[in-house]
Amino acid sequence: MTSSAAYSICVGLEDEFLAFNRLVGVVRRRNLAIESLSIGSGQEAGVARVTIVVRADEGAVDRLVRQLRKVIGVRSAAAEPEALVASRELALIRVRTTGRYADVLDTAGRFGATVLEESRNEALLEVTGTGPMVLSLIRALEPFGVIDLARSGVVAVSRPGTTSAGFETRSIPDVDSERYQSVLTLRDD
């Protein structure tokens, strides 16, 4: 039996609502354990970058990526194991500081968090790091009183010197719109 591991799936998606809706439908039907989903601007104008972190076996992830490549509006899709990507998450944490401001700053400093804003009894902290590090800071701040919390979801890119999980990018014509779109194909080596 194969064991499940965390994989980062990066998808280049045309910046339109219907394309995102189709992508989510495919992922949802696969019924994989999604740990994080984030969407933002990509390298190319008009193409959003979607990062999905799933916990599954390699075969299930490979089937998902192959199916995503067939979705209208998906320009590229690739999956890599957690060890081959650099990933970060952003968190904004509003915490109570009443009578313990120095302790809150000390705790925040140990995790590399910065103070964005402060008032007499509260501070707004920002931290960027791996998911477990962000979670550790949140747990360390709980005794002070976390008032509000927002986490961005994971964004990831391949580490320098790694290839894209056995996939390479090539361009083919899109016969429906006569535009070129980037798709990933299996390497023959």
Over the stretch 107-166, which tens digit does the pLDDT of each residue have? 999 999 999 999 999 999 999 999 999 999 999 999 999 999 999 989 988 888 766 543
Long-range contacts of 38-45 (CB under 8 A, 24+ apart): 38/152, 38/153, 38/154, 38/155, 39/13, 40/155, 42/12, 44/12, 44/75
- Yes or no: is domain 86-151 CATH 3.40.190.10? no
Q: Classify strands 167-174 and 179-186 as parallel, antiparallel or unpaired.
A: antiparallel
* Distance in angstroms (rounded) separating the CA atoms of residues 133 and 29: 31
Boundaries of every domain in the chain: 5-85+157-186, 86-151
What's the pLDDT score for residue 79? 93
Between 93-102, 122-131, 177-186, the lowest mean confidence (pLDDT) is in: 177-186
Nearest to 76 by CA among 187, 177, 168, 178: 168
CATH topology of domain 5-85+157-186: Alpha-Beta Plaits (3.30.70)
**Residue 2: band (very low, low, confident or very high) from pLDDT cuts 50, 70, 90:** low
Residue-wise pLDDT tens digits, 34-85: 899 999 988 888 899 999 999 999 999 999 999 999 999 999 999 999 889 8
First to last CA, the chain: 26
The mean per-residue pLDDT over the stretch 4-32 comes to 90
Instruction: Give 51's contacts (C-beta < 8 A, 6+ positions apart).
Output: 8, 9, 10, 11, 36, 37, 38, 39, 87, 153, 154, 155, 156
Residue 138, both tokens: 């949140």
Selected residue with higher pLDDT from 30 and 147 = 147
Is the model's pLDDT at 169 over the cut of 50? no
CB 8 within 8 A of CB 80: yes
What's the pLDDT score for residue 32? 86
What's the pLDDT score for residue 64? 94
What's the pLDDT score for residue 164? 53
b/e code 81-106 from CB counts within 10 Å (16+ = b): ebebbebebbbebbbbbeeebeebbe
* Distance in angstroms (rounded) separating the CA atoms of residues 99 and 89: 30
Selected residue with higher pLDDT from 57 and 174 = 57
- Say yes or no: do domains 5-85+157-186 and 86-151 share a fold: yes
**Residue 181: band (very low, low, confident or very high) from pLDDT cuts 50, 70, 90:** very low
